[in-house]
Amino acid sequence: MKPLEDILVVDLSQFLSGPSASLKLADLGARVIKIERPEIGDICRTLYVSNVKMNDDSTVFHAINRNKESFVANLKDEEDCSRIKKLIEKADVVIHNFRPGVIDRLGLDYKTVSKLNPKIVYGEISGYGPEGPWKDKPGQDLLLQSLSGLTWLSGNEHDGPVPMGLAIVDIISGAHLVQGILAALVRKSITGKGAKVAVSMLESILDFQFETITTYYADGGQPTVRTNSNNAHAYLGAPYGIYKTKDGYLALAMGQIPVLGELLGCEQLTTYQDINSWFDQRNEIKEVLSEYLATDTSQKWLSILEPADIWCADVMDWERLMKTEAYQVLNMEQEVKMGDGFKFKTTRCPIRIDGEILLSSKGTPGLGEHTKNIELEFNL
Amino acid sequence: MKPLEGLLVLEFCQYMAGPSAGLRLADLGARVIKIERPIVGEGSRQLAIKNLFVDESSLVFHTINRNKESFAANLKDPEDLKSIKTLLKVADIMTHNFRPGVMEKIGLDYETVSAINPKLVYGVVSGYGNTGPWAKKPGQDLLVQSLSGLSYLSGSANDHPTPMGLAACDMLTGMHLTQGLLAALIRRGKTNTGGLVEVSLLESTLDFQFEVLTTHYNDGGKYPKRAKEGNAHAYLSAPYGIYKTKNGYISMAMTPLTTLVPLLNLELPEAYKSTESWFEKRDDIMDILRSIFITKDTEAWLTILEAADVWCSNVYTYKDILEHDAYKVLRMDQLIKNSDGQVIRTTRCPIRIDDERYYNEKAAPKVGEDTDKIIKEFNL
């Protein structure tokens, strides 16, 4: 039995943050009904990446919204809205990511909804929280990365701001929402009462930087400084980074510089005996290392460092990774099938329960594919 | 009442992934006891960033392990092991990140522990799962970023593989662990039995890439291509990225060029009229935009573009954001205090429950700080 079986989620959210949360709930066993606007649906359906379409919708929409049902409703229409309210009366969880104020105008705010269903766990994601000067700003991933200080952590010192090349803020705020919703469901199973769970993209991406922000507070607010080359973490000393070798790249995590010097046969490194120098002189050390590591192959260096228990790894792109037994043994891919028979390959839920991987063959819903059935089933 | 009040968690985890899950459970109300080796304690006590220490332990350790207690035990000592087993009888959750096989040797593997307490939820964090050729490899953040293809998504086209400059894999894995543990607790509310929850850094990092991997699986196996300069997402069309202005930077999210270009007082050349070209000719288009954005200050552009509802933003450092009203209004930071009376400023839990922010001034414990108290309390 999947852990969230018989939990009903009504998801009013769109794009990535909210829908990625309901995907996780679906994969853990919940039934997720996605409420979409007539005709257009979730805007993400047409947010194509690299111009790729799959069965008319964007690949990212498929990745985020498989394993869900779709119910079409115009929330501004009274009749449609009252149908949604009826559905919410039967639900365990509601999710939305409207901007502050919009949900009140729709009459689907927590106060109203919790009167309809006092047991409801009501999850909301905003961009910047319900208060303050930015509350009406668009909550978009790259903007949040840019405003939160995050872009000064990746890349090298002279690169200018370097964003993380995935929707990290969406994904993390969605993951926090799942945590809050599940915690509230745990409490509900004891007290019988629902809860409001609120996250914002700004609070989530600040939390993601808890180590470095805590450091900023402790060091008197010094600016973030990345290393001149091979940076992998602005606040860590050498050798932490990725280095070019003769035929590829090598990643080196934390390690003792003189030990590395001895193993690699790089005498210059053995002179850095003081632990503090590994941070204070990290630019210099990284320069020595990158020059030295370029003289031989990744495999050569790995064959020396791995047996000595140095934290190191090859640097792979997907092509090489997917050919490894280590990838294949995970069974991370699954095939899903849509209502019209269209099949596609995607990834599965990363969590294993009772030694089992959690798979679901249910594909992405067509817009409004389940409206009729849901109306009948719930007498809407 | 915080949602997880009354729950007891035993944390055998070290470093970041597992302990970040323990921190979230603690902030949501659970009582978390770290089980640590006597005297030395867990590994990350000595792992400093920027060489910063608070007491005997590093600032990073304090950031991740506040709001927890510490019980010192040598798991190889039969007496100590007996105490742990007694404690496990009344615990709700335990977590560990030992390499595969270690807990079996100690006698605290899932089978043994679930016989002692069938209601226990047992969480395991590994690097690469417990089978396959990488099962015994060190599961460290940068190494997993390097092996999983992730480092080919950030940075620009001519950069080396560019890791994300934070422990992104650790943190995502910790989030997935929390989700799995809570889902298993919800199931326990119905079935009265615990369960086994397993996550790995590699699976979590593949899940993190679910959108782009799904695209890759279904676009004929094309490879991510980062933009020439100012890349923010390998798969998104122009103008998505960061641009240099006269006095700083500006971030541009997805905006139709047909909307953006007139606002910049330009005419969109015929060659860039089709939406397909915005991806195919991304580098050329971004070159043109770069030549325009550099001519005015960031604020001037924001005034023009925000008025037209274009998704764009400034690029802030920690100083900029942490002194901004939009940050202050969140009340995101809190002061914590260790048993020596030392005070540390750090961030709070990002999830708000029932409109309440959760604060807790308890700092990380010293190794074994709570051993005597726990022995008495639980009659060990």
Query: Is residue A170 annotated as part of the catalytic site, yes or no?
Result: yes
How buried is A333 (Cβ within 10 angstroms: 0-12 exposed, 13-18 middle, 19+ buried)? Answer: middle
Amino acid letter for position A95:
I
Please classify residue B291 by burial: count the beta carbons closer than 10 Å to its beta carbon, then call 0-12 exposed, 13-18 middle and 19+ buried. Answer: exposed
Q: Give yes or no for residue A50 having a pLDDT over 90.
A: no
Cβ of A279 under 8 Å from any chain B Cβ?
yes
Chain centre to alpha carbon of residue A58:
18
What pLDDT sits at residue A51? 85
Last residue of a domain, one of B302, B322, B342: B322
Going by their DSSP bridges, the two strands B69-72 and B31-36 should be labelled as parallel
- The answer to whether A231 faces chain B, any CB pair under 8 Å, is yes
The ipTM estimated for the assembled molecules is: 0.98
Mean pLDDT of B44-49: 93
Count other Cβ atoms within 10 Å, centred on residue A296.
Answer: 15
Please give the residue range of the domain that contains residue B299. 241-322
Chain B, nearest residue to A189 by Cα: B189
pLDDT score at A87: 98
Residues A219-276 have pLDDT tens digits of: 999 999 999 999 999 999 999 999 999 999 999 999 999 999 999 999 999 999 999 9
Domain A241-323, what fold?
Answer: formyl-coa transferase, domain 3 (3.30.1540)
> Which has the closest alpha carbon to A314: A251, A373, A356?
A251
- On the question of pLDDT at A329 being above 90, the answer is yes
| Torsion, CA B256, CA B262, CA B266, CA B272, rounded to 10 | 30
Are A47 and A60 a contacting pair, CB within 8 Å?
A: yes
Residues B132 and B266 both lie in one domain: no
B68-103 tens-digit pLDDT: 999 999 999 999 999 999 999 999 999 999 988 999
Phi, psi of B10, rounded to the nearest 5 degrees: -105, 120
- Say yes or no to pLDDT of B45 above 90: yes
Q: Specify whether B317 is located in the same domain as B338.
A: no
**From B51, which residue of chain A is nearest by alpha-carbon distance?**
A276
Sign of CA dihedral A82, A84, A87, A91: negative
Alpha-carbon distance A326 to A329, whole Å? 5
The set of residues, in sequence order, having a beta carbon less than 8 Å from that of A57 and lying 6+ positions away, is A45, A46, A364
Cross-sheet strand order for the sheet of A8-11: A69-72, A31-36, A8-11, A93-96, A121-126, A195-200, B352-353
Residue type, B360: N
Query: Given this model, what pLDDT does residue A159 score?
Result: 96
Within a domain: B294 = yes
- The H or E element containing residue A11 is strand A8-11
Q: Do B90 and B110 sit in the same domain of this protein? A: yes
| CATH number for the domain harbouring residue B267 | 3.30.1540.10
pLDDT in tens, A138-188: 999 999 999 999 999 999 999 999 999 999 999 999 999 999 999 999 999
Tell me yes or no: is domain A8-208+331-378 CATH 3.30.70.20. no
Q: How far is CA B198 from CA B100, B129, B170, B201, in A?
A: 12, 8, 14, 10
* pLDDT tier at A99, thresholds 50, 70, 90: confident
- How many C-beta neighbours within 10 Å does residue A133 have? 12
Let me know whether B70 and B151 are in one domain: yes
Choose the catalytic residue: A27, A57, A92, A170: A170
* B277-295 residue pLDDT tens: 999 999 999 999 999 999 9
Q: Is the pLDDT of residue A28 over 90?
A: yes
pLDDT attached to residue B204: 98
Nearest CA in chain A to B26: A183
In the numeric block, the tokens 């993951």 are attached to: A175
Is residue B220 assigned to a domain?
no
DSSP per residue over B302-349, as a string?
HHHHHHTT--EEE---HHHHHTSHHHHTTT-EEEEE-TT--EEEEE--
Give me chain B's average pLDDT, please: 97
Strand partners, A347: A333
B84 and B25 fall within a common domain: yes
Please, which pLDDT band fits residue A58 given cuts at 50, 70 and 90? very high
Q: Is the CB of residue B375 less than 8 Å away from at least one CB of chain A?
A: no
φ, ψ for residue A357, nearest 5 deg: -80, 150
Q: Could you tell me if B96 and B129 lie in one domain?
A: yes
Question: Smallest Cβ distance to B215: which of A50, A203, A327?
Answer: A50
SS3 A202: helix
Q: How far apart are the C-alpha atoms of A244 and A289, rounded to whole Å? A: 10
Residue A366 distance to chain B (closest CA, Å): 18
Q: Specify the CATH number for the domain of residue B68.
A: 3.40.50.10540
CB contact under 8 A, A3 and B187: yes
Q: Is residue B144 part of a domain?
A: yes
Determine the distance from the C-alpha atom of residue B162 to the mean position of all C-alpha atoms in its chain, rounded to a whole number. Answer: 18
Amino acid residing at A40:
I
Over residues A61-76, the pLDDT tens digits come to 999 999 999 999 999 9
Using the Cβ of B192 and the Cβ atoms of chain A, whether some distance falls under 8 Å is answered with no
Same-domain pairing of B17 and B82? yes
Q: Using CA atoms, how far apart are residues A286 and A185, in angstroms rounded to an integer?
A: 49
The percent of residues in chain B predicted with pLDDT above 70, rounded, is 100
pLDDT mean over A334-343: 97
Same domain, B55 and B197: yes
Residues B274 and B132 in one domain: no
Domain boundary among B274, B299, B322: B322
Q: Domains in chain B: how many in total?
A: 2
**Spatial distance between the Cα atoms of B137 and A305, rounded to a whole number of angstroms:** 12
User: In this structure, what token pair is assigned to residue B205?
Assistant: 């990092």
- Find the helix or strand (DSSP H, E) in which A90 lies: helix A78-90
Structural contact between residues B96 and B12, judged by C-beta atoms closer than 8 angstroms: yes
Same domain? For B278 and B336 the reply is no
Tell me the H-state helices in B55-140.
59-65, 78-90, 102-106, 110-116
- Quick one: pLDDT band at residue A49, thresholds 50, 70, 90? confident
The interface residues of chain B toward chain A in range 26-55, judged by CB-CB distance below 8 A, are: 28-29, 47, 49-52
CA A14 to chain centre: 15
> Of B280, B300, B322, which closes a domain?
B322
Of residues B234, B236, B347, nearest to A213 (C-beta):
B347
Within a domain: residue B199? yes
pLDDT, residue A100, reads 80
CB A128 to CB B204 under 8 A? no
Contact, B117 vs B130, CB < 8 A? Answer: no
Read off φ and ψ for residue B195, nearest 5 degrees: 180, 175
Q: pLDDT digits over A183-203, tens only?
A: 999 999 999 999 999 999 999
- Residue A48: pLDDT over 90: no
Are residue B289 and residue B249 in the same domain, yes or no?
Answer: yes
Which of chain B's residues have a Cβ under 8 Å away from the Cβ of A137? 313
pLDDT at position A183, please?
98
Q: Tokens 């051993």: give the residue.
A: B371
Same domain for B349 and B284: no
Angle at A125 between CA B199 and CA A133, to 5 degrees: 130
In a domain, B137, yes or no: yes
pLDDT at B176: 98
Tell whether A215 is within 8 A of chain B (Cβ): yes
Burial B158-174 (b: 16+ CB within 10 A, else e): ebbbbbbbbbbbbbbbb
Contact B3/A at CB under 8 A: yes
Give the pLDDT score at B283. Answer: 97
| Lookup: tokens for A144 | 């949040």
Residue of B nearest to A332 (CA): B203
Residues of A in contact with B132 (CB under 8 A): 325-326, 329-330
Q: Which two tokens stand for residue A259?
A: 């030990």
Q: Which two tokens stand for residue B139?
A: 């599961």
